[in-house]
Structure 1
Amino acid sequence: MGVFVFLPLVLPLTAWPIARLAEQRLHPRAATWLLTGVAGVLAVCSTLCLALLMVVGTAQLPGNPLPDGWSDPEVREAVPYDEVAGRAAIPALIAVLAACTRAAWRHRRVRRRAECALAGLPATPVAVLLDEIPYAYALPGRRDRIVVTTGMLAGLNGAERRALFAHERAHLARRHHRFLLTVQLAAWANPFLRPLRTAVTYTAERWADEDAATSIGSRRTVARAIGKSALVTRGAPIATLAGFAAAGPVPRRVAALLGPTPAGRIWPPVFTTVGLAAWGAAAGTTVSALSSANSAITLFFILQTATPM
């Protein structure tokens, strides 16, 4: 069983092909859920793997406060024992915890600053700011709101404004900020998961695009609104939570909206390329989670007997 504790550190290397297949072939809703789940589970498992390596690899080093029994032969058999790996796991684990804490704190700070900026405005679902700089974003919270500036509204016609509001309402209704925060933390926990963060940023936007197109009944109008908003916001120094038109995926989003509507089937059949990839990703994530849980549970019970009362 010992070698399987390293599995969560290896599986994230498959993130790139999984992300490419999912964002290209899966329905945006299914891709967002799948990639977020895979990223979250693998990040937790890889962090747990570092913790296990640290505990077992350093339990008998001089000055370590852990009981010597925590590195007995039975424990070493459950989790690979290596002092070098144990020493290396300490700064790695500290870096992971510090990076995730900093990312969560920055996310909270951005939300609080945005809420403070709207404190003096009427408590309406849509907050219009008198600002010539064009931008719009969805602000989740106790009272979900859509924030848009007069500069953005001036650059869109009536139908495109409806598309913009439908898109931002979709971000709020589907709680996309939770998906984005999860993959952001996962990417900080394990750099190999960064392709999943990039993919979920795109698929969440595509999910909101499709919901907006369904809401207003015109995919072409949503595509036009995305293109125009990207042009008018070019160079605008605004940090948003779930941007309406992020610069990177805009051409792909417009092309997707001008193409056929995604298939209504959310999960692909098993015996297809994308189906095998999706089910393989789910199975690999499950194996990683079971491996980490098995190692942790085994270690816990061994420590119960190894630690003197």
Structure 2
Amino acid sequence: MGVFVFLPLVLPLTAWPLARLAEQYLHPRAATWLLSAVAGVLAVCSTLCLGLLMVVGTAQLPGNPLPDGWSDPEVREAVPCDEVAGRAAIPALLAVLAACTRVVWRHRRVRRRTERALAGLPATEVAVLPDGLPYAYALPGRRGRIVVSSSMLAGLTSAERRALFAHERAHLVRRHHRFLLTVQLAARANPFLRPLRTAVTYTTERWADEEAAQTVGSRRTVALAVGRSALISRGGPAASLAGFAATGPVPRRVAALLGPIPTGGVWPPVFTAVGLAVWGAAAGATASALSSANSAVTLFLILHAATPV
């Protein structure tokens, strides 16, 4: 198995340059898909790596319930991990599982609370709440809805309102909450993946901005709506959901909308600096997955051979 078992724990260090390249040079749709996929793969691989190390560390503990053959010196020598690293992986994996469980529980709790708050309103696509706090967000579900406060609508012109609704509708149609949940879980599984979470939060907003610009037919109108919403908004009751005035680099979004339209190509050409970097990162994620699979198979064969029949 060799030192490659540690590769999934090291590759997430490439998350920051990958996120910067994808934000700057890829279409927001392509960047969202790429970064979310890479984050998910690297998170699963690093968690699997911790699981392998935990099995080895548990096998070395005195009085463990596992077969005695799993603590055989030959098994320990075949695994590139000493006793300290094996035992350290146990609390690390437990922390990962607890953090990911908390993210899922919090996400479901926010959705349930919001759905209960809207239970008494007509089942329309847009729910307008009489609230003095300005906010707007997309509520995913079987019947996704756009939730907006009367205070937010009062601060926008009619054209900006259309841009707002088009933006939120894009969040629902494109299922942006799934991408956001994926990178949130990945960041909890491996802190080195936090740059990808930040990047996907931005690219999903940019993706919805571009969809809204196509719908209303004016990029400038969407830029004005984004800027004005950020100025009048003080937060919302469901900050963990994809929202129109979500926390993020609003000036960058406005500047992008006032600039040229992103190219329609999904992936950059291979024989360019950006293409080589992006495709190299994708290849690194694939290598991480393969190394984790190889480590899992090898460890299984070692432990199976060491287990008495």
Partner of 1:25: 25
Secondary structure of the equivalent of 2:95?
helix
Q: TM-score, normalization: structure 2?
A: 0.96
Partner of 2:14: 14
1:157 Cα deviation from its structure 2 partner? 1.0
Q: Which amino acid aligns with 1:135?
A: Y
Gaps of 5+ in 2: none
Asked if 1:238 is matched to 2:227, the reply is: no
1:181 Cα deviation from its structure 2 partner? 0.4
Change (3 A) 1:179 1:236: closer
Q: CA contact under 8 A between 2:136 and 2:236: conserved in structure 1?
A: no
- 1:161-203 deviation per Cα after TM superposition (whole angstroms, max 9, x unaligned): 1100100010001100000000001001100000000000000
Asked if 1:43 is matched to 2:36, the reply is: no
Partner of 1:121: 121
Q: Which amino acid aligns with 1:271?
A: F
Give the Cα separation in 1 of the matches to 2:225 and 2:46: 41
Change (3 A) 1:105 1:66: same
- 1:31-52 deviation per Cα after TM superposition (whole angstroms, max 9, x unaligned): 1011111111111110110111
Partner of 2:188: 188
Give the Cα separation in 2 of the matches to 1:59 and 1:148: 55
Secondary structure of the equivalent of 1:41?
helix
Give the Cα separation in 2 of the matches to 1:262 and 1:81: 47
Partner of 2:133: 133
Q: CA contact under 8 A between 1:52 and 1:79: conserved in structure 2?
A: no
Q: CA contact under 8 A between 2:201 and 2:248: conserved in structure 1?
A: no
Mapping of residues 113-262 of structure 1, within 5 Å: 113-233=113-233, 235-236=234-235, 238-240=237-239, 241-262=241-262
- 1:79-129 deviation per Cα after TM superposition (whole angstroms, max 9, x unaligned): 313100011101101100000001110011001001000000011111111
Q: Which amino acid aligns with 1:181?
A: L
1:63 Cα deviation from its structure 2 partner? 2.2
Q: CA contact under 8 A between 1:78 and 1:298: conserved in structure 2?
A: no
Change (3 A) 1:132 1:225: same
Partner of 1:108: 108
Gaps of 5+ in 1: none
Q: Which amino acid aligns with 1:95?
A: A
Change (3 A) 1:215 1:113: same
Aligned residues, how many?
308
Q: TM-score, normalization: structure 1?
A: 0.96
Give the Cα separation in 2 of the matches to 1:218 and 1:180: 27
Secondary structure of the equivalent of 1:146?
strand
Mapping of residues 45-60 of structure 1, within 5 Å: 45-60=45-60
Q: CA RMSD in A?
A: 1.3
- 1:277-309 deviation per Cα after TM superposition (whole angstroms, max 9, x unaligned): 110111000000000011101222332232123
- 1:122-155 deviation per Cα after TM superposition (whole angstroms, max 9, x unaligned): 1111111111211100000111100011111111
Q: Which amino acid aligns with 1:8?
A: P
Q: CA contact under 8 A between 1:227 and 1:254: conserved in structure 2?
A: yes
Asked if 1:296 is matched to 2:278, the reply is: no
- 1:54-94 deviation per Cα after TM superposition (whole angstroms, max 9, x unaligned): 11133122122222222445543553131000111011011
Give the Cα separation in 2 of the matches to 1:289 and 1:236: 39
Q: Which amino acid aligns with 2:242?
A: A
Q: CA contact under 8 A between 2:114 and 2:238: conserved in structure 1?
A: no
Secondary structure of the equivalent of 1:239?
coil
Secondary structure of the equivalent of 1:133?
coil
Q: Which amino acid aligns with 1:212?
A: A
